[in-house]
Structure 1
Amino acid sequence: MRRLKMDNVIIAKKLQKSYQGFQLKNIDLEIPLGCVTGMIGVNGSGKTTIVKCLLNLISRQEGMIQFWGLDLDFHEQEIKNRVGVVLGENTFYESLTLLEMKNIFAAAYKNWREDIFRKYMNHFGLDSRKKIFSLSREMKAQFALCLALSHQAELLIMDEPTTGLDPMTRKEMINILLEYMKTDGRSVLFLTHTVSDLDKFADVIILVDHGQVIFLEEKDVLEDKHKRIRGRIEQLDPQIRKLFLAIEETGYGFQGICKDYRQIKEICPQLPMERVGIENIMLAYLKGGVHA
């Protein structure tokens, strides 16, 4: 795991955005510099709305946003020159060739590097003469990554970049991100509902649900605090029960994931505990309706 620094690449305070039937509710975020931050949550939880507000692709109703200490309202162009974006939805003009789309994209960035673009195009085996509409889902995702990496971005923001991709393409994209992060000072914000994508390379995890941030925590700390605990039903007294995020009970006993195993260990040290992954922690919070 990369060593977390005190500085933040993104700070958002009291972010609000309302749609019919949906609301971002006073979102506070601090995305650390030099790390891979994974934002997780089920489809419709608010992840994409948060990112679109951060990028000013949709207007927010309230809130302050800073990148590298620069206020988005006053330094939007400077900020966007330093950010590479891969959105889950198709943002390309389908009738254009890859070359034509690249030319439009490159003109918007003062640090565009044609050599880097060609390197990634060759790596993926993409033909710049092809029309966008003729590309497969995998090829569109690869092309989007080529563009995002070719203007020396210091921050990559990726919204569901691996959704629908075959396992080989997903692994390849993650390996490229790991290579990207070898340069000091770079950061990644990676949105996904496929939590397995983050197991090997995320440093910080944010869980979003119903327009709220449920937790923002270092991945190692998160996995260290949360444990699966099993026991007999008679051991599940009210004092212990309230320390669980979610509990499953059977005629033979119970099992559940707790928020902080140390509290339970003080009360009932004999209960067996085991480590759980990020996906199980996320599901426990969502099932239990608990906020950190």
Structure 2
Amino acid sequence: MAFMVLASTSAEAAPPVDTTWALLYVGRSTNEARWDPRMDATLRALLPREILKPVQTNLSGPPGPVLGAGPSLALSACRSHDCGSKAFLWLDTDHGAAVAATASCDLQRIGTSWKWRNCALSIGSRAYAAEHVPAPALQALQAWLVEEDMTVGTAAFIGATHRRTAWDPSLYLAPPPYQPTAAGPGFDCSAAASEADKAVCAEPVLSGLDLQLHELYGQVRRGTATEPDRTSLAAMQQQWRDQREIACPEIARRVDCLEQQYRARIDALAHWTPSQ
């Protein structure tokens, strides 16, 4: 019955393919899954030919971790020596189906940092029509765009009939999260609850340091290829935020104290390596 539902969403849909082997790689590097001998055959069976080669190529470069949520998996990486060309793959191991995306982005300087902007996004699937892409796949796609800090300029969908049609992300994807201003901080001050966060919002030097830390954390996270290491990094960052509150209790010295805390944290994070 599940296959009949899939097949009815687009003409010439591909039959289910066994993708359960990919579950072995949950939490590990996408590169490990990419070079499994079964991967290329899986991609050829599940993806439209127009998107196949870019996905194969881009999944071979600097990777993210294989993320698992129930029977579905999300993999991502970018092309070696050209991380403006990126790839995303979502696998449904229950139904043997896939949704893939490639992005070609411009690197633009915004304030003091560089961002991936004006990305040309191509989404492809032989199992689903554009309007029937499952919610878990869309959520994983949105998470990938956010994780890589990409802004979509144009988007197209390629289905089982190999026809390329315009795709409006706003119809399918949730709005992106808060985007910091060039002056910082890295979070939305309207949601500031702690005394430390309020001080950061009120003091320009602290706002700038918070933005610097926010962007550095994102860079380090994107350069971390396994889920356990990303989890460790997130826990370490949260621990620092909690300790920051305890270390700077005095109102009169809070700004100077927080400045020292931020500078020390930025230095430590800049020298952090996975599994340490």
- Output the TM-score relative to the length of structure 2: 0.28
Larger relative contact order, structure 1 or 2 (CA cutoff 8 Å, min sep 6): 1
More strand by share: 1
Quick check: which one's helix share is greater?
A: 2
